[in-house]
Each structure stands twice: as structure tokens, then as C-alpha cells.
Structure 1
Amino acid sequence: MSDLAVVSIFVGNLPWATTDEDLYELFAPYGEVKRSKIVLDRETNRSRGFGFVDMEEEAAAKAIEAWNGQTYNGRVLTVNLAQSRPARS
């Protein structure tokens, strides 16, 4: 077990066909992926073109550095630490 904190990475501008598994495989070379999730539209159940990957801080930093601004299946990715979203009122 590691003492490192797990952080969430935002991955934007993903190709529409990207799956949770694709996202996992994209980030696994940089460290253990705790969770990978493509965000789906509630009404259509289709990808919204972004997702999140949870990894330990050190691995996340390497993955962000490796993928931010890089092309994946024809799309230039935006990869950074996810910002916490304010609770809806």
C-alpha cells in the first residue's frame, strides 16, 4: 500500500468513441489507474467528449505531462488535475 494521495485527472477533447477501457489503457503505463470514467450525456447515453482518471499523485503528474497537448486518435487532448465542482443548490 502506498501513502500517496489519489487525485482525479480531467481528460478533455476525447474522440467520441473512447471507452472507459480505452482511457484506462491510455493512462496505465504511468501507474496504477484506480478508476477511469468517460462522462456520458444523461439523455442520449453518448460520450460528452471528456472523462476522468483517478491515480496516485506521482503517477498522475507523469501522465498529465505525457498527454496534455498530445494527439490521441486525431484529437489534441487537454489533460490536467480535475477541479472540484461546486455543489448544486
Structure 2
Amino acid sequence: MKSIYVGNLAYNATNEDVKELFSKYGNVVSVKLISDRETDRAKGFGFVEMEDDQALKAISSLNETDFMGRTIRVNEANPKTR
């Protein structure tokens, strides 16, 4: 399982929009868009979880492409270090 970072998303993009985009490349396990805790406004980035080989295909196909009028950045998310 790989976690994919998706940046520069349109602020009105929903989990469903992002899931639909990534599902063209395989089974999307989860989508988590990040929003500001205080204002609940989208921060313009999030994470998608997919199987490894499907995730790599999605990353190479979607990085630097247009989605909802913005050029998104898509790459493998770095695991949290503590």
C-alpha cells in the first residue's frame, strides 16, 4: 500500500472528485483532503492510498497535469517520522 501526496488542488475539490480521478489507475483505498481545523476551509492538498503498482502508475500519469483548472503535484508521500 502506498500513500500518495496530491498538492495544489482546487479548494472546491471534494474527496469524491479526487477518488474519481485516481480510480482510473486502480482501486482507491482512501482519500483524505486536508482542511484548516479552525475555519474548515480546504488547504489545497491531500493524500490518496492505493496499491503499490497502481499508485506508481497514477503518480507518473497525473503529476503536473491539469485538474479542475489547477496544475496538481502528485508524488509518493513521505512516511511520518517522529
TM class by shorter chain equals over 0.9
Counterpart of 1:78 in structure 2 is: 73
TM-superposed CA distance for 1:32, in Å, is: 0.4
Q: Which consecutive unaligned segments of at least 5 residues does structure 2 have?
A: none
TM-superposed CA distance for 1:84, in Å, is: 1.7
Aligned 8 A contact 1:23 1:37 in 2: no
| Distance in 2 between residues matched to 1:56 and 1:17, nearest whole Å | 26
- Spell out the pairing of 1:20-59 with structure 2 (5 A cutoff): 20-59=15-54
RMSD: 0.8
Counterpart of 1:13 in structure 2 is: 8
Report which of the two structures shows the higher radius of gyration computed on alpha carbons.
Answer: 1
**3-state SS, counterpart of residue 44 of structure 1:** coil
Q: Which TM-score applies when normalising by structure 1?
A: 0.88
Q: Which TM-score applies when normalising by structure 2?
A: 0.95
**3-state SS, counterpart of residue 53 of structure 2:** helix
Q: Which consecutive unaligned segments of at least 5 residues does structure 1 have?
A: 1-5
1:68 to 56, 59, 63: 63
